[in-house]
């Protein structure tokens, strides 16, 4: 349930094509270690998934380490996978905010596109909550997974990053704990804009008041020309990760910035309770919960949360 629908499809495509070719993607990955791609020397592999392989690399022009994200070789032949990869590069590169992973460069090597981005060390919010959940069970399951001051600090940072994206007319569409990284210094970073949607005008969390009316921030970025009616944004498609989708995502309707706010609310619920706001044994059951049910009140799951709030 934690993989976007397109990501699942891309993974299946990758497995099928790799099998038909009779070679292992692991061997291709190993061949990049120690090589120089453009002006980046590959140091080590740091992660991989259906839509990208990430390496730590040394920038030979500037004294810094970066993360290089490559579209997997098999994925590069999928037009949808390539479009998502390009979408991530365009969307994230338009944003410059301390709570959004910074894009340095977009290039390709021997036909393989890659993104050079900020190298982040830490753990995802998903990993942080998993560790907190283990500690919570040991303590009897009463206290919130995160201390309230930590929860509020991270929440403000994530909201600020989303506000910056929305003000530039960019909707993330896949806000979930796995796409939020917490650095060793406690800084939240929003990752993976591969499902981002561009809108014609910004719609940030905070609006300015003008002559008694509410208007969206004036500063916004227009969508790339190829993005207006792409296959990734057509009405009728459910785009995102099932457990964190908004109702309009689940129904395949047109989206605006509010869909990220709903997903963010689901993330906040999980940060406070250690449980997903909407759960089920199948994707259909989760869709049904999102559309027709209200989450269990947090205080009934974590009575100590109320104590912390009143303190």
For the record, the structure tokens of 3 come out as: 């993989």
Q: How far apart are CA 68 and CA 141, in angstroms?
A: 40
For the record, the structure tokens of 130 come out as: 């998993």
Distances 306 to 61, 129, 133, 146, 152 between C-alpha atoms, Å:
52, 19, 18, 13, 14
Place of tokens 């290039």: 107
| Contacts for 254 with CB less than 8 Å, ≥ 6 apart | 235, 248
- Contact call for residues 171 and 165 (beta carbons, < 8 A): yes
- Helix or strand run (H / E) with residue 137: helix 125-138
Give catalytic status of residue 227 as yes or no: no
Q: What are phi and psi of 38, to 5 degrees?
A: 55, -120
Count of CB atoms situated within 10 Å of the CB of 46? 16
Residue 76 exposed, middle or buried by CB count within 10 Å (0-12, 13-18, 19+): middle
Count of CB atoms situated within 10 Å of the CB of 174? 24
Name the catalytic one among 59, 136, 163, 174: 174
Place of tokens 């208007």: 215
Among 262, 266, 255, smallest CA distance to 178 is for 266
Cα distance between the two ends of the chain = 36
Could you list the active site residues?
Answer: 174
């Amino acid at each position: 349930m934690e993989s976007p629908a397109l990501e699942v499809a891309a993974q299946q495509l990758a497995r099928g094509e790799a099998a038909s070719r009779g070679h292992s993607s692991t061997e291709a990955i190993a061949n990049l270690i120690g090589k120089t791609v453009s002006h980046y020397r590959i140091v080590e592999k740091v992660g991989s998934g259906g839509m990208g392989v990430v390496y730590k690399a040394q920038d030979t022009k500037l004294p810094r380490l970066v993360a290089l994200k490559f579209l997997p070789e098999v994925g590069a032949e999928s037009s949808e996978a390539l479009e998502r990869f390009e979408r991530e590069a365009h969307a994230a590169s338009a944003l410059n905010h301390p709570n959004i992973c910074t894009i340095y460069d977009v290039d390709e090597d021997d036909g393989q596109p890659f993104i050079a981005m900020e190298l982040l060390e830490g753990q995802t919010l998903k990993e942080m909550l998993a560790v907190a959940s283990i500690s919570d069970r040991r303590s009897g399951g009463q206290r919130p997974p995160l201390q309230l001051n930590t929860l509020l600090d991270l929440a403000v940072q994530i909201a600020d990053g989303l506000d910056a994206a929305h003000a530039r007319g960019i909707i993330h569409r896949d806000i979930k704990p796995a796409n939020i990284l917490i650095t060793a210094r406690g800084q939240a970073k929003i990752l993976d804009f591969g499902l981002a949607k561009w809108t014609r005008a910004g719609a940030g969390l905070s609006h300015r008041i003008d002559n008694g009316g509410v208007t969206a921030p004036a500063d916004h970025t227009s969508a790339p020309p190829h993005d207006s009616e792409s296959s990734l944004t057509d009405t009728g498609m459910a785009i995102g990760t099932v457990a964190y989708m908004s109702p309009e995502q689940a129904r395949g309707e047109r989206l605006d910035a509010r869909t990220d706010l709903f997903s963010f609310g689901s993330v906040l619920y999980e940060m406070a309770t250690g449980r997903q706001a909407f759960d089920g044994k199948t994707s259909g059951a989760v869709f049904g919960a999102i559309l027709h049910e209200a989450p269990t009140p947090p205080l009934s799951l974590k009575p100590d949360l109320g104590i912390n709030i009143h303190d």
